[in-house]
């Protein structure tokens, strides 16, 4: 079983356990307090638990705020309209209007449940309002407590393994491109590898984003920025592919570019600052400028495409350069310095 599948399975099992345990505990507490509609506390826990800590906190606050407004709507609508089906329809209309306007659609389900309680009892006393409020508080409190139990270390280890995998694949692709330029291999499958890597990176960005929202530290977007940078580099490789396909025949100078690509493939690592590789790119460009001028029109076109390949490689390196420049002191200390000191 792959690491990705293991992590996904573990996440599903953990969420299922949280929902099962949380809903049961919420109902038990509501029954201990002799609250009416005690099972609703379990439903509120189920509806409030999300895959991230910040998501659960945000949703809990939204539920509390919209609860107060929903009770007010219930009191006004249910008191003046005698028909049950009409008053509930108007209640839902106003609640949906409110939640959509605020962008809090996820609070609708709980407010609808609370609305049915007021609808069936027609009880607008302070005691019943407190009963309903306690159901909401118990449900969201259990959800918040359970979402504090998140295996961040395992999550982070999975992300780091994904980073190493991306670097290995990108190194392999660059080596294949280098071989293609000196015609030691067809290299056609290199472009399929780029497409596959892009799909994996989309998953890794989502994984890193989930990790970011499951921690209370402010610098955890480092991993998201890393994978987004690699996605941009894949875009540069796509452009490079387009340029190479236009070459009818590899110019003699292709081996110079191939050597450069093989060189930079050795530096596709998280901790590398590509300043030196960018300097080498300038040297490679200068070397090409000093080559004898093309003698035929076709040779001229192929040489021009070779320059475009180098421009794409420059873009590839600049994406990493910008990523390094945007690392703040905290991120450097947490992610880079400890790694460097450990070596």
92 shares its domain with 206: no
pLDDT of residue 136: 93
Residue 216, burial from CB neighbour count under 10 angstroms (0-12, 13-18, 19+): exposed
158 shares its domain with 293: yes
294 shares its domain with 242: yes
8 shares its domain with 62: yes
Residue numbers of the domain that contains 72: 3-147
pLDDT of residue 179: 83
pLDDT of residue 225: 92
CATH assignment of the domain containing 265: 1.20.120.940
Cα gap 90→221, rounded to integer Å: 43
254 shares its domain with 306: yes
pLDDT of residue 139: 93
Mean pLDDT, consecutive 10-residue segments, the chain of 343 residues? 66 84 95 95 87 75 90 89 87 92 88 91 90 94 82 74 92 87 64 88 87 67 92 90 71 81 91 91 81 62 76 93 88 68 44
248 shares its domain with 125: no
Cα gap 309→85, rounded to integer Å: 68
pLDDT of residue 322: 94
Cα gap 343→341, rounded to integer Å: 5
- CB neighbours (10 Å) of residue 97? 10
Cα gap 229→24, rounded to integer Å: 44
Both structure tokens of 280: 């080498």
Both structure tokens of 294: 């093309």
Q: How many domains does the chain have?
A: 2
233 shares its domain with 143: no
92 shares its domain with 183: no
167 shares its domain with 204: yes
pLDDT of residue 105: 86
pLDDT of residue 101: 92
pLDDT of residue 37: 94
Residue 294, burial from CB neighbour count under 10 angstroms (0-12, 13-18, 19+): middle
Cα gap 309→246, rounded to integer Å: 11
pLDDT of residue 343: 42
Chain centroid to CA 204: 7
236 shares its domain with 281: yes
122 shares its domain with 215: no
Cα gap 258→179, rounded to integer Å: 7
Asked whether 1 and 10 are in contact (CB, 8 A), the reply is: no
Among 129, 147, 165, residue at a domain's last position: 147
Among 147, 182, 214, residue at a domain's last position: 147
- CB neighbours (10 Å) of residue 131? 20
pLDDT of residue 132: 93
Single pTM value for the model: 0.69
Among 123, 147, 171, residue at a domain's last position: 147
């Amino acid at each position: 079983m792959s690491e990705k599948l293991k992590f996904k399975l573990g996440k599903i099992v953990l969420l299922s356990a949280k929902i099962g345990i949380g809903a049961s505990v919420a109902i038990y507490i509501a029954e201990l307090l002799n609250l009416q509609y005690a099972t609703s506390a379990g439903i509120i826990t189920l509806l409030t638990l999300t895959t991230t800590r910040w998501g659960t906190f945000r949703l809990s606050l939204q539920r509390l705020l919209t609860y107060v407004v929903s009770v007010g709507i219930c009191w006004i609508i249910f008191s003046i309209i005698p028909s049950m089906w009409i008053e509930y329809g108007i209640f839902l209309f106003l609640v949906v209007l409110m939640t959509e306007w605020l962008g809090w659609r996820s609070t609708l389900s709980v407010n609808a449940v609370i609305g049915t309680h007021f609808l069936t009892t027609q009880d607008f006393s302070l005691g019943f309002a407190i009963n309903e409020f306690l159901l909401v508080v118990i449900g969201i409190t259990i959800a918040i407590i359970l979402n504090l139990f998140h295996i961040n270390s395992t999550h982070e280890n999975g992300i780091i393994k994904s980073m190493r995998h991306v670097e290995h694949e990108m190194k392999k692709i660059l080596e294949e491109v280098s071989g293609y330029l000196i015609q030691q291999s067809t290299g056609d499958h290199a472009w399929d590898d780029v497409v596959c890597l892009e799909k994996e990176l989309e998953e890794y960005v989502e994984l890193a984003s989930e990790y970011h929202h499951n921690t209370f530290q402010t610098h955890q977007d480092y991993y998201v920025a890393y994978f987004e940078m690699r996605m941009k580099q894949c875009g540069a490789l796509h452009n490079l592919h387009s340029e190479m396909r236009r070459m009818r025949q590899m110019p003699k100078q292709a081996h110079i570019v191939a050597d450069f690509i093989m060189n930079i493939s050795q530096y596709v690592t998280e901790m590398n600052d590509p300043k030196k590789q960018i300097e080498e790119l300038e040297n490679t460009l200068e070397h090409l400028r000093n080559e004898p001028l093309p003698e035929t029109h076709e040779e001229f076109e192929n040489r021009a495409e070779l320059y475009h390949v180098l421009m794409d490689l420059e873009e590839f390196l600049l994406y990493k350069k910008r990523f390094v420049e945007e690392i703040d002191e905290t991120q450097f200390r947490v992610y880079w310095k400890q790694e460097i000191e450990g070596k």
